[in-house]
Structure 1
């Protein structure tokens, strides 16, 4: 969203170093299908402000600020602060300090609520994947299935004086976690997330399965948590492979052949960790931001949609 440079941005334009954030935003500027997403949201976006109130912010500006929130892991108040502090973020949003009105935290909050109210994060996720398919990044024969725990704040120092009642605890190894889970189905070829489901943390990974398959798989890949004799039998066939890691019978060691099979499966299914790495390391999403599953579920759809674009950015820009 290029605008004519004002005196306020002249010093920025003449600086010698391009920061990592500016490089990242330039890449995402090129790979996000802005026109498609704007067309998706536009029917639900108000055309004018309330009677006697300020005019609405341009939809393109609000969508870009919403994306900045996902990439930079900032809350609604911090998004407003960042637009004043960061020239890179302000320019990406198409705003000029001194010339344009900077949206306040309430405006940013209301836009997020509008997306949640109309289930638009799920629609954005589907639209992004459709865009990738049209660019030759389509689903192939295999699906990698996995889940990750998203920590939630366990503090009771809040207005309600309680932890989030929709989050639960689960044990992984010797450690306990409090929060929710994101269950994903990932294309074995491209590594993009094609299916997403969420649950509270105590739900066992294996209970979410059918929702993560697109139905045309010739192979499925998962860890030992998904071992299930009935599912394995239903998936057998001349052109199908059950790539779920073998589990040793109780009291016995794993057979050496099964150990070799597990080693091969692990090499294939390692790609399922890439979307999680993008969310938690690249985007800084390490804790739930909101109370309740619904709001956090909506954010996860947006995060994985943008994460898919980031994962295949080089192919999209080639």
Structure 2
């Protein structure tokens, strides 16, 4: 990473922002070596003819930034250009090229293709347990709608069969849903699933639990979960 005078100026003594404090905490909490070891066998090797890949550590950090701040691929690229703190976390100096939105997208697809996202979450949670951030006896379950334009098509130019529409309040949505299980005390996400938007929340409750709960909390969408056979 090459620093510019602007980068050096930003390293001077001053009050830390909330973003800087958060990223400093993530620097310590994320099991970087373990995650890099999971991805490395599937990542392009530098030194071969053609365009050279960005450092794996940089792409992993950008991917995590994108998840933490809920940024689209174009927004992530712009943020790296505009926000020095994010560039520094991604190990990009002022003279380094910033990965474009297509490169950011391709990295996420690489993780999806090889089923690495779930393994990364497991690795993070296992490391937190080793550090004393163990899961407690309560889990909060909830689901987030991930809307997509109703005209969204897959590679066969057909509507994606995994996406469906659902109604929330008086509004109709088309897309997917991400149900999660969250530790009641720490707020740590320990389970994530992905379903079509029209799948009832209560039907996936069992897949959001770690199995050692004394209590489970959810909104009205989970009414009757305790009576289901899988629980």
The one-character-per-residue Cα deviations of 1:29-61 (angstroms, maximum 9, x if unpaired) are 23222222112212222222542x133221111
Give unmatched runs, 5+ long, in structure 1. 236-318
Q: CA RMSD in A?
A: 3.4
Please state how far the C-alpha of 1:131 moved relative to its aligned partner. 1.0
2:39 corresponding residue in structure 1: 41
Map 1:176-191 to 2 at 5 A.
176-191=172-187
1:138 corresponding residue in structure 2: 134
Rounded to whole Å, the distance in 2 between the matches of 1:68 and 1:193 is 16
Q: TM-score, normalised by structure 1?
A: 0.61
Please state how far the C-alpha of 1:120 moved relative to its aligned partner. 1.0
Please state how far the C-alpha of 1:134 moved relative to its aligned partner. 0.8
Paired residue for 1:88, among 76, 80, 85? Answer: 85
SS in 1 for 2:191: strand
Q: Given that residues 155 and 162 in structure 1 are in contact (C-alpha distance below 8 angstroms), is that contact kept between their aligned partners in structure 2?
A: no
Please state how far the C-alpha of 1:95 moved relative to its aligned partner. 1.7
Q: Structure 1 residue 102 and structure 2 residue 98: aligned?
A: yes
Q: Given that residues 2 and 94 in structure 2 are in contact (C-alpha distance below 8 angstroms), is that contact kept between their aligned partners in structure 1?
A: no
Count of aligned residue pairs for this structure pair: 231
Rounded to whole Å, the distance in 2 between the matches of 1:222 and 1:9 is 45
Q: TM-score, normalised by structure 2?
A: 0.80
Q: Given that residues 170 and 202 in structure 1 are in contact (C-alpha distance below 8 angstroms), is that contact kept between their aligned partners in structure 2?
A: yes
Please state how far the C-alpha of 1:16 moved relative to its aligned partner. 4.9
1:301 corresponding residue in structure 2: none
Please state how far the C-alpha of 1:204 moved relative to its aligned partner. 1.2
Bigger helix share: 1
Paired residue for 2:113, among 109, 114, 117? Answer: 117
SS in 1 for 2:193: strand
SS in 2 for 1:209: helix
Please state how far the C-alpha of 1:125 moved relative to its aligned partner. 0.7
Q: Structure 1 residue 200 and structure 2 residue 196: aligned?
A: yes
